[in-house]
C-alpha cells in the first residue's frame, strides 16, 4: 500500500486569499482582546478577553496544520484552566472598592523589569520569523504522517522520563493540596437527618437571604437591603462579618454612596417611622 507523504517543499508559496483574510481579521481581534485583558478594570472582563485570545490562538494553530495544539489550547487552557479562574471570580466576586494603592514597595519597578525580560525574546523571535524563510513541517513530522503521531512518538520514546516526572510532580502537588486542606474532625459527623431536624427546630427553617448585588459590587460580602433601606444581617456570612466590622453596623460607606445616601450617614429607619406615625396621628386628630 502506497502512502503519500505530506508536502514540505511548497512552503514558500504565496499564502492563499482565505488564509490571509483569516489571519488579518482574527489577528486584529486577538490584539484587541489582548489589550482588553490589560486595560479592563474588572477581572471578569479580563478573563473573558483572555478566552477570546486563547480561542484565536487555537484557530491559528489549526490553519498552520497543528490540530493537536489547537485541541489542547481549547480543551486544557480555555475550557479548563481559564474557565475555572472565571468561575472563581464570579463566585467570590471583586468589589470595586478594592484598593489599587501600591502595597508592596517597588513592585511596579519589578513588574517592568520582568516584562522587559519577556519582551526581549519575544521581539527577537518575531524578528527571526520576519527575516527568515518559512520552513513548514519538518521531515520527521512528514515521515510520521502528521503532527499528532510525531508528538506522541516524541513523548513516548524521547521524552518519556521528563513526561513521567512531570506527571509524578502533578500527582504529588494534588496529594499535598489534599493534606493541607484536610483537617481533623473534632466531633462526630452529623447525618443528613440530624441536620434537617436541627434546621426545622431552629429559628430559620427557610433559606437565609442571599448577598446583595448592586451596580458597583458583585462580592459575596455585600449585605442585602431590606425594603426600608436597612441592612439584613442574615444575608452576611458570620465569618465575613467578623473580618469586617463595618458590615456589623449599618451600611458600608461605598454602598451608602451607591444607593444615594451620604457616606457618613446611616439610615435611621426608626426615626423616619416615628415621624410618619406622628404625622398620621396629627392628621387624624385634626
Q: Tens of pLDDT along 140-158?
A: 677 777 778 888 888 888 8
pLDDT at 240 over 50: yes
Cell of 147: 503532527
pLDDT digits (tens, 9 = 90+) for 163-204: 899 999 989 988 888 887 777 777 788 889 888 888 888 877
Can you tell me which residue has the cell 433559606?
207
Evaluate if residue 15 carries a pLDDT over 80.
Answer: no
Instruction: List all residues 6 or more positions away from 42 whose beta carbon is below 8 Å from its beta carbon.
Output: 94
Coil, strand, or helix at residue 231?
strand
CB 31 within 8 A of CB 49: no
**What is the band of 134 on the pLDDT scale with cuts at 50, 70, 90?**
low
The torsion region of residue 140 among left (phi > 0), alpha (psi -120 to 50) and beta comes to alpha
Query: What pTM value is reported for the model?
Result: 0.47
CA distance linking residue 35 with residue 48, whole number of Å: 12
pLDDT band at 246 (very low <50, low <70, confident <90, very high): low
Confidence (pLDDT) at 171: 92
Q: Are 8 and 150 in contact (CB under 8 A)?
A: no
In the structure, what pLDDT confidence band is assigned to residue 3 with cuts at 50, 70 and 90?
very low
When pLDDT is averaged across residues 86-93 and rounded to a whole number, the result is: 70
Question: Mind listing the domains of the chain with CATH numbers?
Answer: 15-94 (1.20.120.1200), 135-180 (no CATH), 212-269 (no CATH)
Which pLDDT score, from 0 to 100, does residue 7 have?
Answer: 44
Give the residue ranges of DSSP H helices in the chain.
17-39, 43-63, 67-72, 83-92, 107-131, 139-144, 147-153, 160-181, 192-201, 238-243, 253-258, 269-285
pLDDT at 9: 42
Q: List C-alpha distances in Å: 185 to 182, 188, 189, 190, 198.
A: 9, 7, 8, 11, 20
pLDDT of residue 272 exceeding 70: no
For residues 269-279, give the mean pLDDT: 44
Amino acid at each position: 500500500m502506497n502512502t503519500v507523504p505530506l508536502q514540505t517543499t511548497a512552503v514558500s508559496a504565496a499564502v492563499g486569499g482565505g488564509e490571509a483574510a483569516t489571519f488579518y481579521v482574527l489577528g486584529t481581534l486577538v490584539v484587541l482582546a489582548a489589550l482588553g485583558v490589560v486595560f479592563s478594570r474588572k477581572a471578569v472582563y479580563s478573563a473573558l478577553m483572555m478566552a477570546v485570545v486563547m480561542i484565536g490562538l487555537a484557530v491559528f494553530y489549526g490553519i498552520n496544520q497543528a490540530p493537536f495544539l489547537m485541541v489542547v489550547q481549547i480543551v486544557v487552557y480555555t475550557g479548563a484552566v481559564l474557565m475555572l479562574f472565571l468561575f472563581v471570580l464570579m463566585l467570590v466576586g471583586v468589589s470595586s472598592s478594592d484598593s489599587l494603592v501600591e502595597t508592596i514597595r517597588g513592585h511596579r519597578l519589578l513588574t517592568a523589569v520582568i516584562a522587559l525580560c519577556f519582551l526581549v525574546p519575544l521581539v527577537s523571535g518575531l524578528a527571526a520569523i520576519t527575516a527568515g524563510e518559512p520552513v513548514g513541517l519538518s521531515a520527521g513530522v512528514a515521515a510520521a504522517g502528521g503532527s499528532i503521531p510525531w508528538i506522541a512518538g516524541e513523548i513516548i520514546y524521547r521524552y518519556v522520563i521528563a513526561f513521567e516526572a512531570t506527571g509524578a510532580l502533578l500527582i504529588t502537588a494534588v496529594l499535598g493540596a489534599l493534606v493541607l486542606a484536610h483537617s481533623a474532625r473534632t466531633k462526630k459527623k452529623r447525618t443528613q437527618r440530624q441536620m434537617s431536624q436541627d434546621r426545622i427546630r431552629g429559628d430559620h427553617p427557610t433559606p437565609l437571604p442571599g448577598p446583595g448585588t448592586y451596580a458597583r459590587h458583585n462580592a459575596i460580602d455585600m449585605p442585602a437591603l431590606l425594603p426600608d433601606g436597612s441592612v439584613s444581617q442574615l444575608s452576611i456570612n458570620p465569618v465575613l462579618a467578623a473580618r469586617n466590622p463595618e458590615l456589623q453596623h449599618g451600611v458600608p460607606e461605598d454602598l451608602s454612596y451607591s444607593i444615594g445616601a451620604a457616606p457618613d450617614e446611616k439610615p435611621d429607619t426608626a426615626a423616619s417611622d416615628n415621624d410618619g406615625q406622628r404625622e398620621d396621628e396629627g392628621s387624624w386628630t385634626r
